[in-house]
Amino acid sequence: MITGKRYIEIVKDYFAFLKEEYNYTLIDEIIRGNAYYDVQYTDNLKVVSISYENIENYFQVIVFILQNGKLPNYDDKTRTLHLNKLNTSVLSKIDKIEVLLNNEYFANFQVKDEFERKLLKSAKELRLCLKHW
Amino acid sequence: MKRVEVAASEIPESRILNTMPEFTGTEDQITSQMMQYNRQWILNEMRSGNTILDMGLDLNRTDPSIFYQMEQNMMKNYQILHPGSLNIIRP
């Protein structure tokens, strides 16, 4: 079980490219006891939410396309985009070299366990997806 | 939880369980304490007479939330004990 503090640290580390490359701003860090954690970034057009339900081991990366500056309905599949769905649409557009270069970008991160591996994998995927947005 | 938060952000004065404390102990103990806290919270909400928005299962989840399932059981049993007392909206 990961602490909220540690979760936020790792997310800010692995997803630093959002700020550094895509000019996103960190807008929220939520820690609800040890039940739920969420880190949110925005570029004023979209909100990226990286959340985790600790007990249920439910990790989500969602890109919300803002509607008049507000979050869209969660069930609106055209504006609430889950990373796995984004991946499916982007995978066909990328070649092996791009994947390798992307992996290289994250090469300095050392994962300590399965959960951190999952987080790093999502960070890699999101970076590629945003590149082909 | 994210789904609940987004929905609540669209409804002024709505309340969600966002007061979960940081519990300590083994993973099982923490889960048990969270369930207990959630149980008490939903019980208070049912007793308050406020409208409860039941959003249903999140189809993006492979496994339904154990907390949601527990709340469903609580509401079902409460309605058996207090027929007609709950105002539940299911969109």
**Total of domains in chain A:** 1
Q: Residue B30 and residue A74: Cβ atoms within 8 Å?
A: no
Instruction: Report the pLDDT value the prediction gives residue A27, as an integer from 0 to 100.
Output: 96
Closest CA to A94 of A60, A50, A46, A127: A127
Question: A38 is in which domain, residue-wise?
Answer: 4-131
Q: Which of B20, B61, B63 sits opposite A32 (nearest CB)?
A: B20
Query: pLDDT (tens digit, 9 = 90+) per residue, A52-108?
Result: 999 999 999 999 999 999 999 898 999 999 999 999 888 888 899 999 999 999 999
Per-residue CA distances from A62 to A11, B59, B75 (Å): 14, 15, 30
Count Cβ atoms within 10 A of the Cβ of residue B42 and give its class: 0-12 exposed, 13-18 middle, 19 or more buried.
buried
Query: pLDDT (tens digit, 9 = 90+) per residue, A28-55?
Result: 999 999 999 999 999 999 999 999 999 9
Q: What ipTM was predicted for this assembly?
A: 0.87
> What are the chain A neighbours of B15 within 8 Å (beta carbons)?
none
- The tens-digit pLDDT sequence of chain B (91 residues) is 889 999 998 888 999 999 999 999 999 999 999 999 999 999 999 999 999 999 999 888 888 899 999 999 999 999 999 999 999 998 8
* pTM (predicted TM-score): 0.92
DSSP state of A63: E
